[in-house]
Amino acid sequence: MKPAAYWHCFVGIQTREWLRFWQQRTRFASALVRPLLWLVVFAAGFRAVLGISIIPPYQTYITYETYIAPGLCGMIILFNSMQGALSMVYDRELGSMRVLLMSPLPRPFLLVTKLLAMGVVSVIQVYIFLFIALLVDVEPPGWGYLAVLPALILASLMLGALGLLIATWIKQLENFAGVMNFVIFPMFFMSSALYPLWRMNEASPWLYWVCQFNPFTHAVEAIRFSLYLEWNPLAWGVTAGVTVVLVILATAGFRPQRTRILGTKPA
Amino acid sequence: MKSLLRKTALATLIGLSAPAMASLAYVSNEKDNTLSVIDTETMQVIDTIAVGARPRGILLSKDFTRLYICASDDDTVQVLDLATRKIVDTLPSGEDPEQFALHPNNKHLYIANEDDAIVTVVDVTTKDVLAQIDVGIEPEGMAVSPDGRWAVNTSETTSMLHWINTETFEIEKNIVIGQRPRHVEFSKDSRIAWASAEIGGTVHIIDVDKLEQIHQMSFKVPGVNQDRVQPVGIELTSDGKYAFVALGPANHVAVVDAQTYDVLDYLLVGSRVWQLDLNKDETRLYTTNGVSGDVSVIDLDDMKVIKSIKVGRYPWGVVIDPNS
């Protein structure tokens, strides 16, 4: 297959995701409400209670809003990835995914391109969130906005691949509630998104280790450090490694004929 | 791209060949009996000097060659030679000296003796005690006006400012302000004095010509309980634009418009922010944070805290040596 065909396909999938995003502008806006509520309401209530000591990558004392902003960037990507994965489940039976998978290009290429396209939409949401966060004095250095881009894309790929992997096991759309309860919430709460890990260690050492083994923690830390122009090899290493493994597992496991939607039999 | 590389290389070469222009900050660590020396360029502690017991107030001689240290538990004022960083002398101080102020003549040192309810005036050249002035109970803050006319002492329990004539060494006026006055700072033209009242949670502005209070201000830090707002250290910029007030356990520094007395911002620093000092060109403000044991650096162009530097236990005072 010629490289031009790959490029053509890549552009096609990206464009389709863009069109879809443009048609669902209200969903896009409503997806921002969740992290903004956390930032403006939850963080404001806790800013004085928690008190953050100086921890890398920060050079001085920070407000709680500043601390949780990178975690909320992760939250946006996490929710988007799971919803995107859900739509892929739906699409593969009823929608454009079937058409897409009829392409002669390798399936892993098609799926990774699709994940990347979903990631771009998440990244745009994250940037809008970060600009709104300026209003509550979350002010990373200017270059941080550029430096965080690779971390955001990597996190999107990792969580998108995880969503895809989970999607292969979802038998019915209603099971998405289960995904919320058993994947999204534990991943989010048992991470460094809301509390620094040293504080978690003080409260419960076993919970600290659960957080340490949670790849979402490392995705959030990669975002946090990049946003403040610092390098965190552990966070990047774990996020990249888990991304590779999940992408391989997800693309290998994606079988359009395996699942049923709303109880219908596979075609 | 090549041009960018050339510029970068040039900048690197200039950076490598230029002499260090950094000034040094000295911080007294109350519980460690040490001074931390901070390179203000790299913002790192480069030296720690052992001094007397419980060092609190520190100040520079007017020629910036010596640093005076209130060694409170040794009941003495120590003199540190800045060139050698050695204690070269001690001065009689009365009991438990906490804060002091040097007259512009570079000779008369006014020392508040907390336990004895007196202010001791010492000639730093002859080491003679020139006067012991009875003031209110628990004298604490000490300041001398830049024109040398007034020395002001604050007494914590009597909640007063005692205005001492520096020629006669006698109190000419007492002004009652908020509870537990801690610190006084004069404007550069000596016309206005700012005094903080720790328990009162207020700062009082005094017209020096009339010796009358002209304004009283209070602070409200978002998300911080009001009883934690305890103003202590004050710094004023020489252009008369800004005042900075350390708010103690509120862990914030208030940025105040020195003309309108409006609070412009509250900047988050370490725990129990105590004393402040500006660098020579007044682009940065340094704060000592007693409980968290660090010094926060505030960039005054952006009005942002850019770094907090770990020092010893319970840092109390900070001075920047403009000549280092």
pLDDT digits (tens, 9 = 90+) for B211-242: 999 999 999 998 788 999 999 999 999 999 99
Determine the length of chain B.
324
Range of the domain at A106: 3-253
Mean predicted confidence (pLDDT) in B258-285:
95
CA nearest to B305 within chain A? A60
Mean predicted confidence (pLDDT) in A35-42:
87
CA nearest B276: which of B241, B312, B300?
B300
- Residue B276's DSSP bridge partners are B287
> Three-state DSSP class for A201?
helix
What does the alpha-carbon distance between residue B158 and residue B172 come to, in Å, rounded to a whole number?
Answer: 16
CA nearest B112: which of B170, B153, B148, B165?
B153
What does the alpha-carbon distance between residue B209 and residue A69 come to, in Å, rounded to a whole number?
Answer: 51
The mean pLDDT of chain A is 84
What is the structure's pLDDT at B232?
96
**What percentage of chain B carries pLDDT values higher than 90?**
85
Question: What is the sign of the dihedral through the CA atoms of B15, B16, B21 and B23?
Answer: positive
Cβ-contact B96, B115 below 8 angstroms: yes
Mean predicted confidence (pLDDT) in A16-32:
80
**Residues of A contacting chain B (CB within 8 angstroms):** 44, 47-48, 53-54, 59-63, 139
Instruction: Give Cβ neighbours of residue B10 (< 8 Å, ≥ 6 apart).
Output: none
| Least-confidence region, from A81-90, A151-160, A249-258, B310-319 | A249-258
Q: Cβ separation of A61 and B296 shorter than 8 Å?
A: yes
CA nearest to A52 within chain B? B270
Residue A263 resides in a domain: no
Cβ-contact B209, B149 below 8 angstroms: no
Q: Is B270 on the interface with A (CB under 8 A)?
A: yes
What is the structure's pLDDT at A218?
96
Cβ-contact B29, B45 below 8 angstroms: no
Residue A266 resides in a domain: no
Q: Cβ separation of B306 and A48 shorter than 8 Å?
A: no
- B273 CB neighbours in chain A (<8 A) are none
CA nearest to B228 within chain A? A48
Question: What is the sign of the dihedral through the CA atoms of B39, B45, B46 and B52?
Answer: positive
Q: How far is B309 from chain A (nearest CA, A)?
A: 8
Q: Which of B224, B225, B308 sits opposite A59 (nearest CB)?
A: B308
Q: Residue B146: is the preceding peptide bond cis (ω within 30°)?
A: no
Residue A248 resides in a domain: yes
Report residue B40 as tokens.
Answer: 């203000």
Mean predicted confidence (pLDDT) in A61-84:
90
Cβ-contact B255, B263 below 8 angstroms: yes
Q: Cβ separation of A61 and B306 shorter than 8 Å?
A: no
* Mutation site, B226, B272, B287, B308, interface A, largest A CB count within 10 A: B308
Q: Which of A59, A61, A139 sits opposite B269 (nearest CB)?
A: A61
Strands B202-207 and B192-197: antiparallel
Sheet hosting strand B294-299, strand order edge to edge? B273-278, B284-289, B294-299, B304-310
Start-to-end CA distance of chain A, whole Å, equals: 29
- B269 CB neighbours in chain A (<8 A) are 60-61
Q: Which of B223, B225, B306 sits opposite A60 (nearest CB)?
A: B306
What is the structure's pLDDT at A4?
86
What does the alpha-carbon distance between residue A215 and residue A243 come to, in Å, rounded to a whole number?
Answer: 9
What is the structure's pLDDT at A51?
56
Q: Cβ separation of B269 and A60 shorter than 8 Å?
A: yes
Going by the DSSP 8-state scheme, the letter that residue B44 receives in this structure is E
- A41 CB neighbours in chain B (<8 A) are none
What is the structure's pLDDT at A196?
87
> Three-state DSSP class for A166?
helix
The mean pLDDT of chain B is 90
Q: How far is A62 from chain B (nearest CA, A)?
A: 7
Q: Which of A48, A61, A139 sits opposite B308 (nearest CB)?
A: A61
Phi-psi group of A231: left, alpha or beta (phi > 0 → left; psi -120 to 50 → alpha; rest → beta):
beta
Cβ-contact B178, B231 below 8 angstroms: no
Residue A262 resides in a domain: no
Q: Cβ separation of B251 and A62 shorter than 8 Å?
A: no
What is the structure's pLDDT at A64?
87
> Three-state DSSP class for A42?
helix
Mean predicted confidence (pLDDT) in B60-75:
93
What is the structure's pLDDT at A87?
76
Instruction: Kindly report the pTM of this predicted structure.
Output: 0.82
User: What pLDDT band is residue B324 in, cutting at 50, 70 and 90?
Assistant: low
User: What pLDDT band is residue A163 in, cutting at 50, 70 and 90?
Assistant: confident
Mean predicted confidence (pLDDT) in B84-90:
94
- A61 CB neighbours in chain B (<8 A) are 251, 268-270, 292, 296, 305, 308
CA nearest to B250 within chain A? A48
**What percentage of chain A carries pLDDT values higher than 90?**
36
Residue A265 resides in a domain: no
* Number of domains chain A contains: 1
Instruction: List all residues of chain B from 195 to 234 with a beta carbon under 8 Å from chain A.
Output: 223-225
What does the alpha-carbon distance between residue B192 and residue B238 come to, in Å, rounded to a whole number?
Answer: 12
What is the structure's pLDDT at A255?
66
CA nearest to A57 within chain B? B307
- A44 CB neighbours in chain B (<8 A) are 223
Instruction: Give Cβ neighbours of residue A181 (< 8 Å, ≥ 6 apart).
Output: none
Q: How far is B248 from chain A (nearest CA, A)?
A: 15
What is the structure's pLDDT at A173?
57
Residue A259 resides in a domain: no
What does the alpha-carbon distance between residue B308 and residue B188 come to, in Å, rounded to a whole number?
Answer: 28
Residue B16 has pLDDT above 90, yes or no: no
What does the alpha-carbon distance between residue B240 and residue B255 come to, in Å, rounded to a whole number?
Answer: 13
| Least-confidence region, from A4-13, A81-90, A117-126, B272-281 | A81-90
Q: Cβ separation of B305 and A61 shorter than 8 Å?
A: yes
Q: Which of A47, A53, A60 sits opposite B296 (nearest CB)?
A: A60
What is the structure's pLDDT at A63?
85
Residue A260 resides in a domain: no
- A138 CB neighbours in chain B (<8 A) are none
Q: How far is B287 from chain A (nearest CA, A)?
A: 12
Residue A217 resides in a domain: yes
Q: Cβ separation of A47 and B304 shorter than 8 Å?
A: no
Cβ-contact B287, B268 below 8 angstroms: no
